Amino acid sequence: MKLYDTPLAPNPRRVRWVMAEKGVEDIEVVTLSLMNGDQRQPDYVAKTGLPLAPVLELDNGTCIGESLAICRYLESLYPEPNLFGRTPEETAIIEMWTRRAELMVAHPLMMGVRHTHPAMAALEQQDPALGQRSLAAGIAALGVLDRQLESRAWLACDRLTMADIVGFIGLDFGRMIKLRAPQDLTHVGRWAQAMRERPAARAGMPAPAG
């Protein structure tokens, strides 16, 4: 298998994080330069369907795009440590918090960075007002995570799950614009620090996360 990857983007980082948590080392990683337009090359788009990363190419040539789909596929091949749920109830709770982390926190913060960081102008037709609104929405939604973390170490279960990976990587992408969680969100701060201290936080990153 081959993983088409790019180091700084948050969605490919989700896949690398899952691979690191599971100790997956038998997937070839092909690094793309988004700034150089590798993802827009005709042969790549013909293979993957969209000019995006990450994409996992299976040995039979099938290509799986979208980070969560790739991570679910990896979970089926490498089931431990479990990140998506062991029972129907647990699976549903993890799905619920993964969706909330993605839609309420990660996506708005990622959009905020893409529309406000000067370097992103090479990839995005930037709308600074949209960027600021997105950042405000994502930061406000961190309060939801803070309440959930008030009496627990992890978002969905008594262990790290995909919900934590999605939420934290969205927040950590804000480092590009020096964004941090508000100091009064002490539970988010504790959780984020625990995430930064995991060895998987450094998986494939150009520099240590933190």
pLDDT tens string 108-165: 999 999 999 998 888 888 999 999 999 999 999 999 999 999 999 999 999 999 999 9
Average pLDDT (175-199) is: 95
- 168 belongs to a structural domain: yes
Residue type, 8: L
> Which three-class secondary structure state does DSSP give residue 59?
coil
Is the Cβ–Cβ distance between 95 and 85 less than 8 Å? yes
Are 103 and 186 members of one domain?
yes
What is the average pLDDT across 166-175?
Answer: 95
pLDDT in tens, 70-84: 999 999 999 999 999
Does 103 lie in the same domain as 73? no
Residue 204 located in a structural domain: no
Q: Are residues 98 and 187 in the same domain?
A: yes
Neighbours of 80 (CB within 10 A): 9
Total of domains in the chain? 2
For residues 66 and 10, membership in a common domain is answered with yes
What strand order describes the sheet that includes 28-31? 28-31, 2-5, 55-57, 63-65
pLDDT for 208 equals 40
Residues in the chain: 210
Whether 209 is in a domain gets the answer no
The pTM of the whole model exceeds 0.75 = yes
Q: What is the pLDDT, as a whole number, of residue 123?
A: 82
Question: Looking at the domain assignment, is residue 207 inside a domain?
Answer: no
Same domain, 151 and 188: yes
User: Is 69 within the bounds of a domain?
Assistant: yes
Residue 64 and residue 107 in one domain: no
Domain shared by 72 and 93, yes or no? no
> In this predicted structure, what is the pLDDT of residue 203?
82
Alpha carbons 178 and 166: distance in angstroms, whole number: 19
DSSP string, 96-146: HHHHHIIIIIIHHHHHHHHHH-GGGGGT----HHHHHHHHHHHHHHHHHHH
Residues 63 and 106 in one domain: no
Question: Which residue segment(s) compose the domain that 18 sits in?
Answer: 2-77
Residue 55 resides in a domain: yes
- 13 and 100 housed in the same domain: no
Mean pLDDT score, 98-106: 98
Kindly state whether residues 188 and 115 are assigned to the same domain: yes
Q: Tell whether 139 is covered by a domain.
A: yes
- The per-residue pLDDT of the chain, averaged, comes to 94
Task: Reply yes or no on whether the pLDDT at 183 is more than 50.
Answer: yes
